[in-house]
Amino acid sequence: MEAQELPCVLIDCIGGKHGVYEDHAEFLKERFCLITMKEYLENKNFLGKKIRAIYMWYHKPVINEELLQSLPNLKIVASSGVGIDHLDLSLLSSYGVKVSNTPFIVSTDTADLGMALMLASSRRLVEGHQMAISPDTEYFPADWLGAEVSGATLGIIGMGTIGYKVAERAKAFEMKILYHNRKQRNKEEERAVGATYCKKIDDLLQQADFVMLVVNLTPQTHKLIGKRELQLMKPTAILINISRGLVVDQDALVEALQNKVIKAAALDVTYPEPLPRDHLLLKLKNVIITPHIGSATVKTRHLMKENMTESIQAGLAGLPIPNEVLL
């Protein structure tokens, strides 16, 4: 019997800065015929008709109308991670293309990183490390102090899967937990983590010692935290962003940090990424920036690959798609 031809899946590239990991590619090649963007561009007319799915890693390949017009048999786009702000869902839907992401897989690691940033910024770990290894350090000053986390008030903006996991971890630190969300969690979920709902974001900002942003980027959350919101925060407060850079007005944040409107910020996300090397945020001592590593663990990236594969296989077979993104 003749072997069944593997379905063709478009990827950006293998290896390099943003390509599919080489060990992931080996896994994928057992299930799909992978076509890189370079190969596709060199033979659009032939390969365009064969491609039935797009495996989107690190937001690549970029999908626009020109690409969709050249892929008449495209059925599904599987996107890594939880954010979908890089996709035009209405455009994809108009071409009959379904979309999936991997929201639940990344939630644990992202919540862990949120806690790590909170601890690192409150206890000034980066500054402390630099002091400890500096050739100019002759003694450790006794008045070099951080802020306590245990017993402090944490305000979580965005109480979805990741936000709730942050609350579970914060409970172990005996923190008072406030949260603001589009919809209030049920009473049982609130009691489980000891969280109090703030219908108005202003109430949360005024009370929290730490404000953690865990929202999706949408037109409603674009620059959700600006000059007005920063001025509502305590001068001793720390802002932590593990969502998307554009949720914060960065110019307003720089001004607030320079003028001690808030104490510090810890950011896993910025805009753009990376920031220009002369950006003011890179020069401030009261800022910690990590390179968007919320889901960057070996285990989670493998699970993302497997989940995306399952979504593509289901979409091509006409079966329910795990984590399908709906309009």
Instruction: Count Cβ atoms below 10 Å from residue 141 Cβ, excluding itself.
Output: 8
**Which of 169, 292, 302, 306 is the catalytic position?**
292
**Which of 148, 174, 189, 273 is the catalytic position?**
273
**Which of 124, 185, 244, 301 is the catalytic position?**
244
59 is catalytic: no
292 is catalytic: yes
CA 258 to CA 264: how far, in whole Å?
10
From the centroid of its chain, how far is CA 146?
A: 27
* Residues forming the active site: 244, 273, 292
